[in-house]
């Protein structure tokens, strides 16, 4: 990206100076100012965001402000009412105060048209949580401007949901250990957390995290533009939902903020490119931090809260988090504890596809519309589980549908343990069924919501596919949770149905079915997401849900069927661990380079370490990003400097020839045979095939130029190689180490 010519792209810039300002847990990767081309690309990005209706008009913004003013006034009036009811003196009643805070996308300045407002009601110590869900709820109920009002008192973070003059709000509650909450009350003081109940601490966390994020970024305007684009991209690719196992708004904000810390002078367009580069190669489950979290020694006076801090060294449950993104406010917690194996795989694949698209935007082959346009969810998969949530009336439905949605992530986890399922993807959108659709309830005019789970089924399975156990486990979770609430009724029903893609038109409207562009279909880079071996499972007609799969290789299943009968003890198939992933040392794991000449930046490469293989991820874009094995290490403790993307290639002639699957270096017949066997093995396991075209002249020129530049900075001992090494070149896996600190100013 930029005005630099092709030759200068091959020469990486020097690392940032040792005295460069540090944002977050490490020094920045690049301090380069933006180029004219990058500024122009940012203008086109803002134009595209405007065209997609991301920004609200001044009139719409004024409506939001008026709603917040009215709710804030209602909070103050309610606190006074509770103070009088509890017999406080008149002067203390007047000073009791109360205040409404905002957090989430609204506080960060990235709210979109029609988005809800996350807010927090803060009250003094004599106002209890039970008052919030009784008298305050009643005050809202009596307000004629309020609609769709319901309380979610049993949630992990209890809240009240409503619409006020058409604006959707989520209101949390926190009680501070203070006599009064004035208009100038701030929430960033850790001392406020003393003597608070855990629910109040969780509720306060949203506001405190938003404030810490804004403090941690070098340029707020750059951050907000980039975050708007990333959130729109995530929503349009069906990977935006914390409750369903993807990333929520705070998680996306932390990732974009971390990218801004690494490139503090970059434009929003460059931040988006680096966002996909950094997190498309991140070595999960290494955590992402915005600031050093090792500060517990400063909080000995509130040591009880240290048990809430995310710490895999001392908390066993934290060791099983798959994609930890840590909030910057104390107590630091993982904002992505709902992520499952399937959702992490889907998210990281989307990161890599996004990086590929960014390379093409930079080269002028595509526009921002190609990155930000909506992708049709139903074009991704051929098999679906339709979850039906039905109740008798709207009021019951608001409560029960929220409960069911909060439990769907458990169904995803259950499916992941089935050897028949490679991958499962829940669509975050909710759907309404066609009027002609029979949802299987025994009362008239039910209120119904549908969710669809896309399934990537194991193609080696030629027998019946049994999902009974997983469905039964999910039903048990929902019924147990619903049964513990006072509002549960026997007419509240959740039911799963198997649906082929060709039958989706019987369930939902055509506009919903055809919405967005078709998904660019790639073969999965993971054979099976479950931890079990592929094994034939005999059919059993007594099981609830059975998918008859005759030929998964040829598209839709021609004879797929669902048998629904009653069974009390469904049996489960035997399970064992699956095959290990292909070793990174496998020559077929080497990233194959596109014949495209798009040349992204190489900011931050340390010239002392740079060797030819660093060109894989930066001088060329990847035709199949499943080959992107380079991993960025997770954030750890503060580092004085941040060497990045260190890699080693002993001989550039060892690069793979993608035309014939052989090495360009001389190889023996036995080596060629082994290579063919490895390639066939990878094909059977579902990995991408190598591209069929590769510009060998361009590749050789780039490798030679980069090798000459790299070796000129290497010590003599590093440059020398034995004859055996020259004859048998070995390609080592590139390492993107974002946090290793050099010793005495020298990179090792």
| pLDDT tens per residue, range 90-142 | 999 999 999 999 999 999 999 888 889 999 999 999 999 999 999 999 999 99
CA 205, 211, 217, 220 dihedral sign is: positive
What are the residue boundaries of the structural domains of the chain, listed by start? 31-53+217-372, 58-210, 380-515+538-554, 587-736
Instruction: Determine the pLDDT at residue 538.
Output: 31
Better-predicted residue by pLDDT, 685 or 681? 681
Give tens-digit pLDDT for 16-49: 555 666 788 888 999 999 999 999 999 999 999 9
* Residue 33 CB contacts under 8 Å (≥ 6 apart), including other chains: 265
How far is the C-alpha of 122 from the C-alpha of 136, rounded, in Å? 12
Give the phi and the psi of residue 435 in degrees, each rounded to 5: -60, -30
In this structure, the dihedral spanned by the alpha carbons of residues 580, 584, 585 and 588, taken in order and rounded to 10 degrees, is 90
Instruction: Tell me the pLDDT band of 382, cut-offs 50, 70 and 90.
Output: very high
Better-predicted residue by pLDDT, 578 or 412? 412
Instruction: Determine the pLDDT at residue 617.
Output: 29
Better-predicted residue by pLDDT, 670 or 376? 376
Residue whose C-alpha is closest to residue 647's, from 615, 611, 674, 679: 611
Residue whose C-alpha is closest to residue 354's, from 257, 254, 267, 280: 280
423 three-class SS: strand
Q: Is the pLDDT of residue 214 over 90?
A: yes
Q: Report the range of poorest mean pLDDT among 312-321, 369-378, 635-644.
A: 635-644
Instruction: Determine the pLDDT at residue 555.
Output: 40
Domain 380-515+538-554 has what CATH class? alpha beta
Instruction: Determine the pLDDT at residue 531.
Output: 39
Q: Exposed (0-12), middle (13-18) or buried (19+): which is 463, by Cβ within 10 Å?
A: middle
The answer to whether 486 and 449 have CB atoms below 8 angstroms apart is: no
The answer to whether 464 and 549 have CB atoms below 8 angstroms apart is: yes
How far is the C-alpha of 707 from the C-alpha of 691, rounded, in Å? 24
DSSP state of 123: E
Buried-exposed string 29-60: b where 16+ CB fall within 10 A, e elsewhere: bbbbebbeebeebbeebbebbeebebebeeee
How far is the C-alpha of 68 from the C-alpha of 101, rounded, in Å? 9
How far is the C-alpha of 400 from the C-alpha of 115, rounded, in Å? 22
Give tens-digit pLDDT for 130-154: 999 999 999 999 999 999 998 888 7
Which CATH superfamily includes the segment(s) 58-210?
A: Beta Polymerase, domain 2 (3.30.460.10)
How far is the C-alpha of 424 from the C-alpha of 409, rounded, in Å? 10
Instruction: Determine the pLDDT at residue 521.
Output: 55
Q: Is the pLDDT of residue 541 over 60?
A: no
Once rounded to an integer, what is the mean pLDDT over residues 315-334?
93
Instruction: Determine the pLDDT at residue 113.
Output: 85
Instruction: Determine the pLDDT at residue 12.
Output: 52
Domain 31-53+217-372 has what CATH class? mainly alpha
Please state the pTM of the whole predicted model.
Answer: 0.70
How far is the C-alpha of 671 from the C-alpha of 692, rounded, in Å? 21
Q: Report the range of poorest mean pLDDT among 315-319, 346-350, 557-561.
A: 557-561
Better-predicted residue by pLDDT, 611 or 395? 395
The answer to whether 273 and 230 have CB atoms below 8 angstroms apart is: no
Give me the percent of the chain exceeding a pLDDT of 90. Answer: 51
End-to-end CA distance of the chain: 29
Instruction: Tell me the pLDDT band of 547, cut-offs 50, 70 and 90.
Output: very low
Instruction: Tell me the pLDDT band of 597, cut-offs 50, 70 and 90.
Output: very low
How far is the C-alpha of 227 from the C-alpha of 249, rounded, in Å? 9
Give the number of other CB atoms < 10 A from CB of residue 421: 26
Give tens-digit pLDDT for 402-423: 899 999 999 999 999 988 899 9
- Arithmetic mean of pLDDT over the chain: 73
Give me the percent of the chain exceeding a pLDDT of 70. Answer: 65
Q: Is the pLDDT of residue 582 over 80?
A: no
Better-predicted residue by pLDDT, 121 or 518? 121
Active-site residue list: 105, 116, 118, 170, 231, 240
For residue 331, say if its preceding peptide bond is cis, omega within 30 degrees of 0: yes
Give tens-digit pLDDT for 216-234: 999 999 999 999 999 999 9
Give tens-digit pLDDT for 719-732: 333 333 334 333 33
Q: Is the pLDDT of residue 471 over 80?
A: yes
Instruction: Tell me the pLDDT band of 693, cut-offs 50, 70 and 90.
Output: very low
Q: Exposed (0-12), middle (13-18) or buried (19+): which is 488, by Cβ within 10 Å?
A: middle
Report residue 307 as tokens. Answer: 């048990």
């Amino acid at each position: 990206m930029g005005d630099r010519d092709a030759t200068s792209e091959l020469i990486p810039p020097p690392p940032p100076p040792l005295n460069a300002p540090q944002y977050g847990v490490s020094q920045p990767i690049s301090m380069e100012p933006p180029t004219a081309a990058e500024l122009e690309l940012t203008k086109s990005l803002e134009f595209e965001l405007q065209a997609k209706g991301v920004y609200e008009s001044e009139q719409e913004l004024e409506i939001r402000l008026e709603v917040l003013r009215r709710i804030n006034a209602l909070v103050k009036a309610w606190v006074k009412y509770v103070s009088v009811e509890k017999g406080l003196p008149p002067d203390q009643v007047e000073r009791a105060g109360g205040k409404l805070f905002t957090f989430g996308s609204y506080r960060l300045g990235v709210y979109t048209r029609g988005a809800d407002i996350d807010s927090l009601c803060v009250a003094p110590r004599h106002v209890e949580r039970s008052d919030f869900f009784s008298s305050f709820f009643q005050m809202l109920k009596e307000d004629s401007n309020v609609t769709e009002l319901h309380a979610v008192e049993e949630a992990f973070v209890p809240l009240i949901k409503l619409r006020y003059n058409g604006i959707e709000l989520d209101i949390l509650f926190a009680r501070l250990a203070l006599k009064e909450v004035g208009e100038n009350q701030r929430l960033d003081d850790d001392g406020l957390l003393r003597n608070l109940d855990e629910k109040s601490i969780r509720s306060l966390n949203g506001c405190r995290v938003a404030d810490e994020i804004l403090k941690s970024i070098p340029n707020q305007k750059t951050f907000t533009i980039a975050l708007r684009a990333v959130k729109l991209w995530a929503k349009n690719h069906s990977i935006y939902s914390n409750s369903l196992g993807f990333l929520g708004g705070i998680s996306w904000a932390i990732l974009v903020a971390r990218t801004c810390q690494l490139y503090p002078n970059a434009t929003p367009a460059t931040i988006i490119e680096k966002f996909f580069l950094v997190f498309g190669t991140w070595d999960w489950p290494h955590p992402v931090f915005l600031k050093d979290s090792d500060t517990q020694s400063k909080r000995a006076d509130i040591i009880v809260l240290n048990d809430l801090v995310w710490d895999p060294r001392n908390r066993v449950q934290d060791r099983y988090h798959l994609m930890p993104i840590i909030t910057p406010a104390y107590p630091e917690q993982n904002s992505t504890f709902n992520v499952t194996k399937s959702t992490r795989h889907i998210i990281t694949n989307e990161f890599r596809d996004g990086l590929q698209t960014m390379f093409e935007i930079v080269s002028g082959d595509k526009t921002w519309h190609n990155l930000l346009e909506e992708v049709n969810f139903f074009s991704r998969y051929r098999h679906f589980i339709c979850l039906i949530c039905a109740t008798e009336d709207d009021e019951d439905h608001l409560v029960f549908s929220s409960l069911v949605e909060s439990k769907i992530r458990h169904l995803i986890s259950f499916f992941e343990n089935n050897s028949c399922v490679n991958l499962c993807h829940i669509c975050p959108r909710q759907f309404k069924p066609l009027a002609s659709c029979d949802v299987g309830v025994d009362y008239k005019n039910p209120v119904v919501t549908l969710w669809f789970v896309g399934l990537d089924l194991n193609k080696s399975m030629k027998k019946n596919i049994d999902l009974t156990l997983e469905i039964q486990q999910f039903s048990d979770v929902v019924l147990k949770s619903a049964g513990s609430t006072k509002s549960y009724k026997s007419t509240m029903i959740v039911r799963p149905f198997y649906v082929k893609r060709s039958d989706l038109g019987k369930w939902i409207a055509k506009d919903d079915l055809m919405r967005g562009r078709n998904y660019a279909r790639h073969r999965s880079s993971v054979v099976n997401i479950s931890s079990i071996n592929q094994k034939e499972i005999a059919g059993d007609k007594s099981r609830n849900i059975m998918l008859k799969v005759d030929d998964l290789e040829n598209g839709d299943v021609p004879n797929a069927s669902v048998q629904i009968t009653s069974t009390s003890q469904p049996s489960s198939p035997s399970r064992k661990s699956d095959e290990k992933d292909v070793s990174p040392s496998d020559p077929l794991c080497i990233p194959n380079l596109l014949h495209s000449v798009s040349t992204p930046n190489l900011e931050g490469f340390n010239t002392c370490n740079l060797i030819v293989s660093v060109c894989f991820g930066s001088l060329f874009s990847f035709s199949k990003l499943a080959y992107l094995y380079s991993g960025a290490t997770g954030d750890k403790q503060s580092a004085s400097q941040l060497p990045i993307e260190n890699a080693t290639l002993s001989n550039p002639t060892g690069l793979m020839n993608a035309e014939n699957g052989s090495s360009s270096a001389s190889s023996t017949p036995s080596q060629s045979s082994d290579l063919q066997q490895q390639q066939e093995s990878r094909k059977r396991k579902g990995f991408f095939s190598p591209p069929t075209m590769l510009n060998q002249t361009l590749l050789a020129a780039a490798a030679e130029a980069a090798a000459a530049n790299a070796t000129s900075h290497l010590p003599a001992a590093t440059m020398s190689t034995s004859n055996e090494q020259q004859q048998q070149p070995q390609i080592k896996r590139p390492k993107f180490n974002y946090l290793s600190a050099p010793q005495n100013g020298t990179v090792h």
